[in-house]
Structure 1
Amino acid sequence: MDFNSYQPPKYQPHKRLPYAVRIRNRIIVFAVFMGICALMGTCIFGEKEAPKQPAEKADEYVEEQESPVTNDVTTQAEQVAPETGAPKTELFPKADSEDIANMQANVAAAVAPTEMPPEVEVIDSTHIKAQADVFMAEKIDNLLRRFRPEYAVILMVDPKTNEIIAWGERRDNRVQEKPDYFIKNTFPAASLAKTITIAAAMESNRYSLTSQIPMIGASHTLYRNQLRVKEGFKGPFIEMQDAYAKSANPPLALIGMNVGADRLKSAAKKLGYNMNFPAGLPGRSVYAPPDTGYGLAEASCGFTEATTLTPLLAAAQVRSILMKQPLEIPWAKNLDGYAPKSRIALEVGKFTENTYYGLREAMVRSVTNGTARKNISTRHMARKNYAALTIGGKTGSLDGHDPYGRYEWFMGFAQSKENPGKAVVLVIMQVHDLQGVRSQPATQVAAMLFNYWAHQNLPKQGK
């Protein structure tokens, strides 16, 4: 066969049926359809059931029904009811009202959702009205209900009086009426432990905020090769204040290994670690670095679950740095069992003025150039409030197991530039489900709370 000379057959359109035939077919289809609909309607909405039999005839009918059943199908089909004369069994039995009701119930069940609607949480405002600053307490409560973190605690303190002015806590899928997390000491401190390291570094007089530290590898990891600085190192360097602000692990680990475990423990004591507080309020926060090795590096940068911190102690640390005073646990009049009822002086000693100044400036740099810069900004704060405040803080994140999840910290302060006596200390700790959707970052929540606090406490323009 010569394929080059092959020509495909021309397309022949299908010849349509005559018009009369098409009309006839449509009529037949329509008639069949109507017949089916009528048959279905007869099955569903058939005749009403026959009237009830009198007592005597009903008994006779029952006796007849209880008679032995014959095998002759024709005989059974020809049996009739005593009164109506209609066959007892039909090809399409009529539906009674009970059948229709059952059918309607089945249809409604198929259409209705299978899951129950979520339970509406009843808001009990008793714990809100009992707080020192009702407006801030209500704002915290609203944010917890809005963002719905897996676990969370928020704590605000007046640094001047060291009184707890507002708080909120969420766990077990609802906002709590008691702040159980205030004193819980199973939370890993994460990068908040870097505060100990730079405090010990400045106390040793070996480092200042602008000291240059080798920066080896990524900032969020801590491998052993990142701790080996070769002689004549010509790689990148980072200032100590920027290493703290950007939460870089290797530089802080190198600093901790250089100053030694004894100085680290001494600085940790002044920040309240390894102490048994009166009445166990809060619980004992642990900081126990080994003398040498990789474990010392881990503790220096907070890259370990072994270092723990309570939210109440975190607030005390920020207040001590801001006020340049020895550590003092925040108190409240009506939080019996969760915070001291009055101010209690602690014999822990204090840092030098230079160390307090350096810690404060490093926390401010975390907001202006570090990990909190993105969210604590005009993105979530009014420009006038952001410009009127000096804001400092420290972020941290690490996986933990009690409760299980990803821990996210923010501890910091906001202080009026015009009137430094007006300030607030804020601590936020959230735990996110590792497999679920995370709520808003702690720094974003902090920005919103600082903005609301400024709106309530700073003078309005033109007044």
Structure 2
Amino acid sequence: MERLPYAQRMRNRCIAITVLVTIIIAIVHCSTKDDPVPPAEPAEPQVATAVDTLAQAIAPSDTNQNPNGLVALKGIEDEDFESSGNTANGNVASATNATAESTDSVRDTLHIKAQKDPLLADKIDILLRRYHPDLGVILVVDTKTNEIIAWGERRDGQVQNKPDYIGRTTFPAASLAKLVTIAAAMESNRYSLNTPIPMIGRHHTLYLNQLRVPEKYNGPTMELSEAFARSANPPMAIVGKNVGGKRLNAAAAKLGYNKNFPGNAPNASRYTAPDTGYGLAEVACGFTTSTTLTPLLAAAQVRAILTKKPLEIPWARDMAPFAPQKPLALNLGKFTENTYYGLRESMLRSVTQGTARKHMSTKNMARKNFEALRLGGKTGSLDGNDPAGRYDWFMGFAEAKNDPNKSIVVIVMQMHKEMRSQPATQVAATVINYWAHQNLDLKK
């Protein structure tokens, strides 16, 4: 049976809630009809108001009537809210608070108007106010020019007007460090994207027994690119141990780790792979807080992979001292063409078959935009200490299939404490979708 449209399912749920509440009220009324206490005011109007509020909160947005382009809710299915730990009442409260915050007459918009793409910057600002992560950084870079076209940051309970944290180096890189392992593996000429790697145990754990591969192993395997796309720790750790710490550190250097940049924009991200042992395995799969990454360097890494050029730090004229004010070329060396190809294909597979597939889809993007774009990325999550909480990353890109010059790099880094906001990949998909609406000339 074909599934009903999203809007119709939402209306049906509202009707069901109304009927259920009415039945409950009728039962309560019948059980207390002999009570001498004067009856209270009828509750139906309040119930109807609550149901209307719920319906408004979950109804799909009409982008033609919404100048701010709040299309994030249009494709969000119920399971997305459930996986984020939100209830229906919580969604109503969140939507109400976000609306009040985003329409506040005292909202500071000067930093939005000063950005290269103020419309996209305003969209980012609205998303940060709507989802209110404990710490959130969103960064969008034009791939061709390497210029920062929009950014947003939220911390200390409010959206910031300065990008203080885009170059901060205390954030654990988590599985984004797997880019280094893929690069080192391809540079070694010992691996290709379809090389089978032993897959022992669960994807998201890393125990010593998962690293001990029997001499005549005949168990399950996973291709190298699949291990990257699905963010499987054991096979990536095995690859890292096989290529060795020297090659990992060399690949990390070409991706900008351990580099002191002019003006500390950004600060130096840290990556140090030991020669042997369990520590080498941890670093290779990103299962350690010792490897850190700044959002600005993450954007530079993605852009270098797309352009097949040595790493350059993204720049902006109005973001000093947090980012360079002009293009900053770095003499860090290049990977081989084969390595750049492997990195790009692995990121594409993360969206088509890996951890970014669920949210980087038509659930959060208009179908015409999704089909017109080539999407790639890498997700990562790990507990960190400065500030303390659960870090959730997405680094990736979107480029038009019919015009690769129309391309952006998107970085979303969030930190959650007790309550988790929307996944970083979902936020990134919403940002990409809005950019596509503005920049892609697609027939309706």
The equivalent residue for 1:442 is 424
| Of 220, 234, 238, the match for 2:222 | 238
CA drift at 1:344? 1.5
Give deviations 1:222-275, integer Å, cap 9, x for gaps: 000000001111110000000000000000000000000110011000000011
User: Match of 1:431, SS?
Assistant: strand
User: Match of 1:182, SS?
Assistant: coil
CA drift at 1:400? 0.3
Question: Aligned partners of 2:242 and 2:172: how far apart in 1?
Answer: 24
Asked if 1:459 is matched to 2:441, the reply is yes
Matches within 5 A, 1:22-421: 122-421=106-405
> Residue type of the partner of 1:179?
P
Question: Aligned partners of 1:330 and 1:259: how far apart in 2?
Answer: 30
> Residue type of the partner of 1:136?
L
> Residue type of the partner of 2:380?
G
Identity score, percent: 65
CA contact (8 A) 2:389 2:415 kept: yes
Question: Aligned partners of 2:405 and 2:340: how far apart in 1?
Answer: 17
CA drift at 1:460? 2.9
Question: Aligned partners of 2:428 and 2:258: how far apart in 1?
Answer: 28
User: Match of 2:299, SS?
Assistant: helix
CA contact (8 A) 2:178 2:228 kept: yes
User: Match of 2:210, SS?
Assistant: helix
CA contact (8 A) 2:112 2:122 kept: yes
User: Match of 2:170, SS?
Assistant: coil
> Residue type of the partner of 2:274?
P
> Residue type of the partner of 1:240?
L
RMSD across aligned positions (CA): 1.5
> Residue type of the partner of 2:148?
I
- Structure 1 stretches of 4+ with a deviation exceeding 3 A read 117-122
CA contact (8 A) 2:373 2:399 kept: yes
> Residue type of the partner of 1:275?
K
Give deviations 1:148-175, integer Å, cap 9, x for gaps: 1110000000010000000000000000
Structure 2 residue runs without a partner (length 5+): 1-35, 37-96
Question: Aligned partners of 2:266 and 2:425: how far apart in 1?
Answer: 24
CA drift at 1:289? 1.2
Q: Which has the higher contact order (CA 8 A, sep 6+)?
A: 2
CA contact (8 A) 2:368 2:442 kept: no
Give deviations 1:162-199, integer Å, cap 9, x for gaps: 00000000000000000011110000000000000010
Give deviations 1:424-461, integer Å, cap 9, x for gaps: 0000000011xx22100001101111111111000031
Give deviations 1:336-370, integer Å, cap 9, x for gaps: 11000001210100001111011000000000000
User: Match of 1:216, SS?
Assistant: coil
User: Match of 2:313, SS?
Assistant: coil
Question: Aligned partners of 2:373 and 2:214: how far apart in 1?
Answer: 43
> Residue type of the partner of 1:218?
R
User: Match of 2:165, SS?
Assistant: helix
Question: Aligned partners of 1:385 and 1:183: how far apart in 2?
Answer: 31
Structure 1 residue runs without a partner (length 5+): 1-29, 31-116
> Residue type of the partner of 1:264?
L
User: Match of 1:269, SS?
Assistant: helix
Give the aligned length. Answer: 345
